[in-house]
Amino acid sequence: MREERSHALFAVLRNFFRSFLSSWNPSAEWCLKEASFVETQPRTPEGRAPRAGNTRRIVFIGLFGAMAAVLMNLHMPVPFAPPFYEMEIADIPVLIGGFSLGPWAAAGIALVKNVIKLVMRPTSTAFVGELSNILTTCALSIPAAVVYRRDKTKRGAVKGLVAGVLSMTVFSVFNNAFVMLPLYAGIYHMPMEALIAMGTAVNASIHDLLSFVLLAVAPFNLFKGSIEALLTFLLYKRIVVLLRLSDPEVAPVGQDR
């Protein structure tokens, strides 16, 4: 009975996201095509598909990546950062996937998220933006997943999310100062002063690269990460119950301590 129920849940999730991606962009359906692999696997004499757990975990990575890719299309500017920094909550599926499947799964979801995004909307930054997004997402989700794996309680989840937000913020400051902003300036053939001027337009205290990353990049990532962490904390308990129906190896919900 449990096997039938988990198989049905798995099929529903797979078909929903296959249909959604196909309607959004027909060329994106291939991203979930391998989800049917678990159904076509030969059965053992006991009636079970070999290595189904691993296969399902791989497909869950694809599903979480698809959710995150869709959420990347929902974004908005924030008043305290230049317009090219936009608020979105696409890292929530990555955090939930990291909590339930582990830190390496979080990295895989971050990669899948950007691959699907490229299928839906080609790069406008010569892949620099996508690479930065992968690294920044990993800086948030991997520390959170590592801490939670060692302490699967509500307290562990909070500690992991706080560690992830701080890690992402620190990484983003150095990444923007030494990699991203110089690369963007080169790609768009504009002086660094022009980018800094965009920061000055929203915060008069920004006057050089150091003040830009401290007064625009750091607050933006703290705000974005905190919102995503809060929503992840509220949603994880509900979502992981469904995941465990299909894969009992998924990390359980944290206890009340």
Domains of the chain, CATH where assigned:
2-41+50-245 (1.10.1760.20)
Q: Which residues pair with 255 in a beta bridge?
A: 153
Spell out the per-residue pLDDT of the chain, length 257, in tens: 545 544 555 554 555 555 545 554 554 444 444 444 434 444 445 544 445 567 888 988 999 999 999 999 888 999 999 998 999 999 999 999 999 899 999 999 999 999 999 998 888 778 888 999 999 999 999 999 999 999 988 899 999 999 999 999 999 999 999 999 999 898 888 999 999 999 999 999 999 999 999 999 999 999 999 999 999 999 987 776 766 655 566 666 555 55
pTM above 0.85, yes or no: no
- Report phi then psi at 35, rounded to 5: -65, -25
Taking phi over 0 as left and psi of -120 to 50 as alpha, with beta for the rest, 208 belongs to: beta
